[in-house]
């Protein structure tokens, strides 16, 4: 497929269509900056990488979102996939956009084990949801990102396609659904179906195409009948006839175990009318014309779905005996049904785009207080994302919708946390019932409380909603948490000692608070508890500290051996776009045998194969990757430690020899010691292993020189074990 590069001007046109006062300058700057940072990068499809952020921005523009969100769409992959740093981004675009981009930057794990990948996936989802509570734009951008990735999924290999499609079905489509974004949800589901069941997808599409052709006349006929009927009764309406989306038909075939030829209600009509009374009026007229199917009339006007969806639904038996579905709603309701939370972002005169309190609190319920392991988190998330709903009432007639299987405990926590904590029983439809009774549609529930009651562990088995589960768990964990903090502190102290860092100092330098924040914890205490509960691995936690400590004392801090000038000098086999840098403990040079180790967030550290550090402590076999020298050009800085007899002209002699070998001296630090001994700490540029060896030979031969050492060789005394 050759997707042409979307034009910035087209996106701008969409935006100014709904928001004439948009900040064109901001959008253009974001676009240009993204183009610059992604320059030279290529997607798996072979297209320029820039296609992706442009398409994501376009999807966001089609959702009619605000400037800030669209600008972030252009920039959303910068921190993850380019050299742009947080500081630079903040300087260019400010705190707000940088915050959004940070929230969208995944933790990645190169670990191959399923458990490690699953844990990283859970953590990514958890962080994204947390960030979305603060600003729902995070999840809107993530959905746009996922949508474009799903549209271009075909270029990946099969295993990745299946994994991403499954994740889309389990997490992102349900989230889109719960946020009321019907259009995005439908497209995600259809694309997931294509990659999860390609054969069936193709067969179904083909069959649908044939039936659509056959049904065209029927659709036209029913449409004109409805239009005429409504006109005669002075209800103006827009009538749309359509074939249902593929995934919903497929689900139906699966559920009923039938073939497509036996599915009749793949036709659906939508009536968009002016007012609520017209909705009911139209429903009555439809029922006069065609007989309704019993049990299929649904009034989501009086009782909106939890995602705020409102519509009247009915199924009727059509002119030739085939059933079809009719949905009736107002224009506003249709807007909400198709675009959900994004509809709230529409610019109203002079108003800031608003949050949607109801849906945000639902998001909060999904993530708050989760103390268990990542797999449990994902399972409970999935359960809460795809509920079949039951509608229940308080004695005062307030409606609460729950996932099927919800019990009076869920109901009690829904009323109020305090009611939940103290509930002892429930009266359902006037009868006293046990707490584990599953609530049914239409139940009127009254909760009985006692001040002496407290939550118990078996409540976790009885409650099904994330909200109740989290509250119960939080209560039960209060005592356990104190213990976990203590355990976490001890573990952290021990681990810090191992790598020669003081916990006290970390705290004073506020590094600990920073690490806590990076892992999504607001307080140091929560971080320690997480360590104590075993939810974060200490290795991951401390990796950045190890990385930033200088491992080798190098001559001059200013001029220490620099990173490889170009990322392309060393490449990781099979993965050209990973960042690499030369480890400072051994400074490998072209010609050396090298191995790569994946560090957290900084790319791949390249060590000499015989560097003793590579086998130590933090490095584990899963992190090792094969690397190779690419087309090498340029100079590599190498520290040299030269000892010599202290006599005049030594430095001149040394620098002359270096010049003679074409090795540029970048810095030099001289010292004299007792016993007529002098030392020089130099940083010289060489172009590879052979060049260095030659230089060493020449310098060692120089009269007066006693030793020449470099951390680049393996026998160096500079090496300190981590």
Residues recorded for the chain:
722
Q: How far is the CB of 160 from Mn ion (least distance, A)?
A: 15
Nearer to Mn ion, 145 or 592 (CB): 145
What does the DSSP 8-state code read for residue 168?
Answer: I
603 three-class SS:
strand
Q: How far is the CB of 579 from Mn ion (least distance, A)?
A: 17
- Using CA atoms, how far apart are residues 542 and 492, in angstroms rounded to an integer? 9
- Using CA atoms, how far apart are residues 230 and 554, in angstroms rounded to an integer? 85
Nearer to Mn ion, 142 or 582 (CB): 142
Q: Is residue 81 among the annotated active site residues?
A: yes
Site string for Mn ion, 143-182 (x = CB under 5 A): --x-------------------------------------
Q: How far is the CB of 161 from Mn ion (least distance, A)?
A: 17
Q: How far is the CB of 104 from Mn ion (least distance, A)?
A: 8
Selected range binding Mn ion among 28-36, 142-150, 311-319, 649-657, rule: CB under 5 A: 142-150
- Using CA atoms, how far apart are residues 686 and 430, in angstroms rounded to an integer? 88
Q: Dig out the tokens for 154 from the structure.
A: 């075909």
Nearer to Mn ion, 146 or 560 (CB): 146
Contact 707, 643 (CB under 8 A): yes
Nearer to Mn ion, 77 or 410 (CB): 77
Q: State the catalytic residue, choosing from 47, 62, 81, 212.
A: 81
Q: How far is the CB of 150 from Mn ion (least distance, A)?
A: 12
Instruction: Kindly give the residue spans of alpha helices, DSSP state H, lying in 63-85.
Output: 67-75, 78-81
Q: How far is the CB of 574 from Mn ion (least distance, A)?
A: 21
Q: Which of 697, 713, 684, 696 is nearest to 591 (CA)?
A: 713
- Using CA atoms, how far apart are residues 588 and 174, in angstroms rounded to an integer? 49
Inter-CA distances, 502 with 112, 155, 511, Å: 32, 48, 11
Nearer to Mn ion, 171 or 627 (CB): 171
Site for Mn ion in 342-381 (CB under 5 A): none
Inter-CA distances, 327 with 216, 330, 463, 609, Å: 19, 10, 34, 67
Q: How far is the CB of 42 from Mn ion (least distance, A)?
A: 14
Q: How far is the CB of 46 from Mn ion (least distance, A)?
A: 17
Residue with nearest beta carbon to Mn ion: 145
Selected range binding Mn ion among 139-147, 290-298, 323-331, 485-493, rule: CB under 5 A: 139-147
Neighbours of 70 (CB within 10 A): 31
Nearer to Mn ion, 152 or 407 (CB): 152
- Using CA atoms, how far apart are residues 597 and 566, in angstroms rounded to an integer? 18
Buried b or exposed e, range 88-106, using 16+ CB within 10 angstroms: ebbeebeeebbbbbbbbbe
Nearer to Mn ion, 77 or 135 (CB): 77
Q: How far is the CB of 153 from Mn ion (least distance, A)?
A: 13
- Using CA atoms, how far apart are residues 365 and 322, in angstroms rounded to an integer? 43
Q: How far is the CB of 10 from Mn ion (least distance, A)?
A: 19
Nearer to Mn ion, 53 or 374 (CB): 53
- Residues binding Mn ion: number (CB under 5 A): 2
Long-range contacts of residues 96-101, Cβ cutoff 8 Å, at least 24 apart: 96/68, 97/30, 97/68, 97/71, 97/72, 99/135, 100/68, 100/69, 100/72, 100/76, 100/135, 100/137, 100/138, 100/141, 101/72, 101/75, 101/76
205 three-class SS:
helix
Selected range binding Mn ion among 10-18, 73-81, 83-91, 627-635, rule: CB under 5 A: 73-81
Nearer to Mn ion, 145 or 356 (CB): 145
Q: Dig out the tokens for 24 from the structure.
A: 């064109």
Selected range binding Mn ion among 77-85, 342-350, 543-551, 677-685, rule: CB under 5 A: 77-85
55 binds Mn ion (CB under 5 A): no
- Using CA atoms, how far apart are residues 60 and 6, in angstroms rounded to an integer? 14
Contact 340, 179 (CB under 8 A): yes
Inter-CA distances, 336 with 7, 58, 567, 704, Å: 29, 20, 47, 85
Inter-CA distances, 82 with 38, 120, 211, Å: 7, 21, 48
Residue 286 CB-half CA count within 13 A: 32
Contact 561, 554 (CB under 8 A): yes
Selected range binding Mn ion among 76-84, 295-303, 607-615, 664-672, rule: CB under 5 A: 76-84
Q: Is residue 443 among the annotated active site residues?
A: no
Q: State the catalytic residue, choosing from 47, 80, 335, 338.
A: 80
Q: How far is the CB of 53 from Mn ion (least distance, A)?
A: 7
Beta bridge pairs of residue 423: 449
Nearer to Mn ion, 145 or 190 (CB): 145
Q: Where are the beta strands (DSSP E) in 47-90?
A: none
Q: Dig out the tokens for 501 from the structure.
A: 């860092």
Selected range binding Mn ion among 140-148, 459-467, 615-623, 627-635, rule: CB under 5 A: 140-148
Nearer to Mn ion, 101 or 342 (CB): 101
Q: How far is the CB of 191 from Mn ion (least distance, A)?
A: 16
Q: How far is the CB of 141 from Mn ion (least distance, A)?
A: 9
Selected range binding Mn ion among 70-78, 282-290, 300-308, 578-586, rule: CB under 5 A: 70-78
Query: Within the chain, what is the greatest distance between any pair of CA atoms?
Result: 114
Nearer to Mn ion, 48 or 612 (CB): 48
- Using CA atoms, how far apart are residues 387 and 439, in angstroms rounded to an integer? 14
- Pick one of 55, 66, 67, 77: the residue that binds Mn ion (CB under 5 A): 77
Beta bridge pairs of residue 637: 685
Selected range binding Mn ion among 69-77, 271-279, 385-393, 714-722, rule: CB under 5 A: 69-77
Selected range binding Mn ion among 29-37, 74-82, 362-370, 509-517, rule: CB under 5 A: 74-82
Residue 212, burial from CB neighbour count under 10 angstroms (0-12, 13-18, 19+)? middle
Contact 281, 229 (CB under 8 A): no
What does the DSSP 8-state code read for residue 575?
Answer: B
Residues at the interface with Mn ion (CB under 5 A): 77, 145
Catalytic residues: 80-81
């Amino acid at each position: 497929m050759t997707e042409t590069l979307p034009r910035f001007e087209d996106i701008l046109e969409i935006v100014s269509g709904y928001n004439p006062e948009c900040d064109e300058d901001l959008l253009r700057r974001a676009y240009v900056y993204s183009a610059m940072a992604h320059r030279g990068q290529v997607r798996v499809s072979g297209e320029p990488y820039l296609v992706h952020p442009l398409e994501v921005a376009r999807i966001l523009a089609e959702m009619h979102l605000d400037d800030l969100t669209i600008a972030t769409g252009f920039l959303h992959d910068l921190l993850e996939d380019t050299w742009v740093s947080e500081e630079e981004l903040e300087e260019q675009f400010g705190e707000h956009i940088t915050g959004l981009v940070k929230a969208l930057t995944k933790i990645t794990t190169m670990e191959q084990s399923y458990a490690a990948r699953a844990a990283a996936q859970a953590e990514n989802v958890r962080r994204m949801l947390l960030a979305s509570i603060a600003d729902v734009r995070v999840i809107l951008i993530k959905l746009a990102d996922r949508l474009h990735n799903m549209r271009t999924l075909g270029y990946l290999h099969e295993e990745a396609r299946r994994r991403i499609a499954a994740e889309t079905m389990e997490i992102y489509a349900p989230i889109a659904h719960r946020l009321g974004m019907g259009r995005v949800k439908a497209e995600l589901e259809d694309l997931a179906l294509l990659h999860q069941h390609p054969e069936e997808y193709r067969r179904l599409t083909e069959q649908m195409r044939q039936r659509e052709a056959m049904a065209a006349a029927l659709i036209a006929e029913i449409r004109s009948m409805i239009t005429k009927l409504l006109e005669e009764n002075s209800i103006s309406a827009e009538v749309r006839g359509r074939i249902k989306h593929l995934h919903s038909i497929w689900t139906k075939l699966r559920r009923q175990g039938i073939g497509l030829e036996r599915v009749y209600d793949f036709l659906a009509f939508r009536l968009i009318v002016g007012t609520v009374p017209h909705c009911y009026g139209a429903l009555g007229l439809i029922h006069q014309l065609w007989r309704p199917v019993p049990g299929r009339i649904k009034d989501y006007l009086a009782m909106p779905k939890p995602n705020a969806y409102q519509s009247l639904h009915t199924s009727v038996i059509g002119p030739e005996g085939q059933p079809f579905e009719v949905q009736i709603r107002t224009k506003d309701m249709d807007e909400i049904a198709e675009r959900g939370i994004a509809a709230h972002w529409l610019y109203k005169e002079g108003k800031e785009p608003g949050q949607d309190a109801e849906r945000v609190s639902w998001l909060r319920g999904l993530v708050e207080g989760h103390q268990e392991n990542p797999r449990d988190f994902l399972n409970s998330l999935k359960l809460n994302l795809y509920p079949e709903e039951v509608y229940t009432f308080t004695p005062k007639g307030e409606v609460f919708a729950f996932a099927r299987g919800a019990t009076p405990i869920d109901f009690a926590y829904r009323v109020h946390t305090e009611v939940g904590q103290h509930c002892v029983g429930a009266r359902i439809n006037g009868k006293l019932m046990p707490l584990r009774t599953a609530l049914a549609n239409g139940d009127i529930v009254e909760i009985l409380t006692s001040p002496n009651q407290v939550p118990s562990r078996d409540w976790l088995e009885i409650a099904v909603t994330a909200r109740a589960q989290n509250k119960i768990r939080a209560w039960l964990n209060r005592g356990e948490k104190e213990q976990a903090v203590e355990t976490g502190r001890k573990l952290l102290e021990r681990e810090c000692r191992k790598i020669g860092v003081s916990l006290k100092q970390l705290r004073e330098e506020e590094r600990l608070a920073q690490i806590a924040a990076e892992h999504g914890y607001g307080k140091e205490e929560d971080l320690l508890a997480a360590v104590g509960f075993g939810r974060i691995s200490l290795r991951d936690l401390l990796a950045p500290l190890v990385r930033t400590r200088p491992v080798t004392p190098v001559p001059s801090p200013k001029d220490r051996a620099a990173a490889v000038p170009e990322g392309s000098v060393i490449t990781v086999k099979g993965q050209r776009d990973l960042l690499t840098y030369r480890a400072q403990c051994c400074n490998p040079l072209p010609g050396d045998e090298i191995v790569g180790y994946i560090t957290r967030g900084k790319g791949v550290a390249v060590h000499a194969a015989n560097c003793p550090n590579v086998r130590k402590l933090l490095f584990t076999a899963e992190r090792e990757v094969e690397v190779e020298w690419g087309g090498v050009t340029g100079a590599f800085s190498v520290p040299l430690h030269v000892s010599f007899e202290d006599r005049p002209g030594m430095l001149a002699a040394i620098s002359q020899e270096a010049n003679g070998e074409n090795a540029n001296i970048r810095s030099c630090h001289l010292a004299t010691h007792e016993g007529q001994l002098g030392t020089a700490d130099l940083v010289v540029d060489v172009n590879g292993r052979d060049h260095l060896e030659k230089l060493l030979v020449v310098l060692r031969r120089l009269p007066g020189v006693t030793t020449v050492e470099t951390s680049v060789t393996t026998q160096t005394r500079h090496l300190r074990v981590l």
